[in-house]
Amino acid sequence: MNKVIANWIKSSEYDIKTAEAMYKARRFVYVIFMCHLAVEKSLKAIVAKNTKSVPPKTHDLFYLVKLASLEVPDLHKPILMHLNEASVPTRYPEDINKLIKVYNGVIANRYLRKTKGLLKWLKVQAK
């Protein structure tokens, strides 16, 4: 694995650990945000690997999937969709109180578990 790809993967791993720390701290909105960021960086590793170029500065997970020429298994499509939809509101909240209610501990735990499964699959694709 080349240095650029390894850096994207290491950064993704750092972010998922941060998501876990945010879960323990009960900062659930940031669990969702960091899960998205971890997936985004893993996808960028695969884009870099498959295209031999620098991934674009985008947060759109489906665009990155397309650039990476990935066929995402049905098992992982829902979390990919949910994370993609949560990207803008968790990044730039218009109503933080509403987000705190929407992304409670139960939801954050589900996102975290499903994101870890997706990241495991993405890591295999990056090799």
Contact 126, 5 (CB under 8 A): yes
Long-range contact set of residues 72-77: C-beta below 8 Å, sequence gap at least 24: 73/121, 75/117, 76/114, 76/117, 76/118, 76/121
What's the pLDDT tens digit per position in 19-31? 999 999 999 999 9
Q: Which two tokens stand for residue 98?
A: 């509403």
What pTM value is reported for the model? 0.96
CATH topology of domain 3-126: Four Helix Bundle (Hemerythrin (Met), subunit A) (1.20.120)
Question: Do 91 and 34 contact (CB within 8 A), yes or no?
Answer: no
Please give the average per-residue pLDDT across 92-118, as a whole number. Answer: 96
Question: What does the pLDDT read at residue 125?
Answer: 92
Q: pLDDT category, 1, cuts 50, 70, 90? A: low
Reported as a pLDDT band with limits 50, 70 and 90, residue 127 is confident
